[in-house]
């Protein structure tokens, strides 16, 4: 969740002893928009440039051969074959593409292929722009191939016009219009390191932290698997880079500022029929050199989003984030569990309902308040009704068309307002019992310390 440095300094500690600061997390739903990839600005017949419908058959065949050879070179690790498909008169593109090849060579690629629609070819002089669909699946990490799109420029080879050479993979205007969002291996050199169930993507600046990050994720997978009652792949791809450039590329970033995020989990889109191929997460560079409880709790939080998969995507944000917080603190000693000061102050003042989606993401909001209250809603449910009730609540509210008020009344006998109020009172009773005592009975049906066991 987004936090400012000042917010982290003003964290309220558990009454019994000092604790680590509350880490920040965010959930992001990141899917490519459903938009046409056809050229809206394709030149009309009779102009100097021709659309795909007029592209000669030999050009189409040449593009198909070029992309087929490119995919085969990546799959077989043949760098020379890959380089032979690049135009020599474009040294910058050539260097970038060879770096891209070196990046992919480190990934456990199970499937990789390129395709295109003939209608998405546009001629520019003696070259051809083509919208390319890339299908790639990481073995052991993606449940299905990940599909993405880009626009490539090909030009016939100088002495063989049947052979197409890649001249460019960059068209900023088209990429902006079609919301192209590259992965770290598309953007520059990466260093890939593996662990048990972990694929870590680092760069030269972050590589010294690789061993610690991988170990933290390995431990987190074990902790989350012990808590989450549903089966999951128990594998994850984590991006741990030395800059926030990738975080900054995320659409609708909570708060709009990557510097306020410690980490973010996001689903990766599968094929044209929709669905999710995997959920991955990225860490802010400042978390890489921060070993110990704070980073470990952040990692567990993000792994809960990974483990819950589509349940996480479909559940109310207050519940998906609250469950992630609830699970992330299980290995932390009760006396070391902390809640943000702003969340506690809001709880003392009283709340009038459960957090909304906008309270987590909108600029000007204080997401730490929503994260804190959501966490303690889950503490209240688990402490008062038993932990199975928490998972049943998540399962039902993640069902398409579920009515939040009806589900809460049926499972807990509470309205959303009553649930939020009791969670806030339990938070106050746990962290500032003297305030709770001075304000009278909490009205909670669970014990006052049930959230800090």
Residue 187 phi, psi dihedral angles, 5° rounding: -100, -20
**Could you tell me the two tokens for 206?**
């972050």
CA separation for the pair 42, 119 (Å, rounded): 10
Q: Is the predicted pLDDT of residue 253 greater than 90, yes or no?
A: no
CA separation for the pair 225, 233 (Å, rounded): 10
Q: Residue 273: which of 373, 132, 413, 147 has the closest Cα?
A: 147
Q: Residue 140: which of 53, 228, 236, 19 has the closest Cα?
A: 236
Number of Cβ within a 10 Å radius of residue 126:
8
pLDDT at 184: 95
Buried b vs exposed e over 146-162: b needs ≥16 C-beta within 10 Å? bbbbbbbbbbbbeeeee
Q: Is the predicted pLDDT of residue 380 greater than 70, yes or no?
A: yes
Band (pLDDT 50/70/90 cuts) for residue 54 is low
Q: Is the predicted pLDDT of residue 445 greater than 90, yes or no?
A: no
**Could you tell me the two tokens for 420?**
């939020």
Number of Cβ within a 10 Å radius of residue 174:
17
> Which residue has better confidence, 112 or 251?
112
pLDDT at 72: 98
Which residues have CB under 8 Å from 283's CB, separation 6+? 213, 238, 239, 240, 262, 263, 298, 299
pLDDT at 81: 97
Cα distances from 328 to residues 205, 226, 296, 323, in angstroms, run: 28, 12, 8, 8
**Could you tell me the two tokens for 254?**
């909570």
Which residues have CB under 8 Å from 317's CB, separation 6+? 27, 355, 356, 357, 360, 374
Q: For the ranges 60-64, 203-207, 273-277, 287-291, which has the lowest average pLDDT?
A: 273-277
Band (pLDDT 50/70/90 cuts) for residue 234 is very high
CA separation for the pair 393, 315 (Å, rounded): 10
**Cα dihedral value 441, 446, 450, 451, nearest 10:** -80
CA separation for the pair 5, 155 (Å, rounded): 51
The predicted model gives 292-297 an average pLDDT of 92
| pTM exceeds cut of 0.85 | no
Q: What is the pLDDT of residues 355-377, one digit of tens each?
A: 999 888 777 678 899 999 999 99
> Residue with structure tokens 């989606």?
357
**Could you tell me the two tokens for 172?**
């900023």
Q: Is the predicted pLDDT of residue 347 greater than 70, yes or no?
A: yes
Average pLDDT for the chain: 84
Cα distances from 394 to residues 151, 220, 248, 398, in angstroms, run: 41, 21, 30, 6
CA separation for the pair 153, 170 (Å, rounded): 8
CA separation for the pair 66, 218 (Å, rounded): 40
């Amino acid at each position: 969740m987004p936090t400012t440095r000042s917010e982290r300094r003003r964290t309220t500690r558990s009454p019994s002893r000092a604790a680590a600061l509350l880490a920040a997390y965010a959930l992001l739903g990141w899917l490519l928009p459903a938009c046409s990839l056809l050229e809206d600005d394709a030149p009309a017949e009779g102009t100097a440039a021709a659309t795909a419908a007029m592209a000669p058959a030999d050009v189409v065949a040449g593009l198909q051969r070029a992309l087929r050879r490119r995919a085969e070179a990546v799959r077989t690790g043949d760098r020379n074959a890959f380089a032979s498909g690049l135009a020599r008169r474009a040294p910058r593109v050539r260097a970038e593409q060879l770096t891209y090849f070196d990046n992919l060579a480190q990934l456990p690629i199970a499937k990789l292929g390129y395709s295109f629609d003939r209608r998405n070819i546009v001629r520019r002089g003696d070259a051809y722009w083509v919208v390319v669909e890339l299908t790639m699946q990481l073995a052991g990490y993606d449940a299905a191939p990940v599909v993405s799109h880009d626009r490539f420029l090909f030009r016939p080879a100088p002495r063989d016009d049947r052979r197409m050479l890649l001249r460019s993979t960059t068209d900023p205007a088209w990429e902006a219009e079609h919301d192209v969002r590259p992965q770290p291996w598309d953007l520059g050199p990466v260093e890939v390191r593996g662990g048990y169930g972990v694929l870590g993507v680092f760069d030269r600046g972050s590589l010294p932290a690789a061993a610690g990050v991988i170990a933290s994720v390995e431990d987190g997978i074990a902790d989350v698997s012990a808590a989450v009652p549903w089966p999951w792949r128990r594998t994850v791809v984590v991006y741990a880079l030395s800059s926030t450039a990738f975080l900054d590329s995320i659409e609708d970033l909570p708060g709009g500022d990557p510097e306020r995020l410690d980490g973010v989990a996001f689903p990766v889109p599968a094929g044209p029929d929709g669905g999710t191929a995997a959920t991955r997460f990225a860490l802010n560079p400042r978390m890489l050199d921060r070993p110990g409880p704070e980073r470990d709790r952040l990692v567990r939080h993000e792994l809960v989003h990974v483990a819950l998969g589509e349940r996480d995507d479909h559940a109310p944000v207050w519940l998906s984030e609250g469950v992630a917080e609830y699970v992330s603190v299980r290995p932390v000693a009760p006396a070391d569990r902390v809640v943000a000061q702003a969340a506690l102050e809001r709880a003392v003042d009283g709340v009038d309902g459960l957090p909304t989606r906008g309270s987590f993401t909108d600029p000007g909001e204080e997401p730490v308040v929503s994260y804190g209250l959501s966490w303690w809603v889950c503490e209240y449910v688990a402490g008062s009704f038993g932990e199975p009730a928490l998972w049943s609540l998540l399962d039902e509210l993640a069902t398409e068309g579920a009515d939040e008020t009806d589900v809460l009344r049926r499972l807990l006998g509470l309205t959303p307002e009553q649930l939020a109020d009791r969670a806030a009172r339990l938070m106050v009773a746990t962290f500032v019992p003297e305030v709770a005592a001075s304000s009278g009975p909490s009205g909670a049906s669970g014990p006052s310390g049930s959230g800090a066991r």
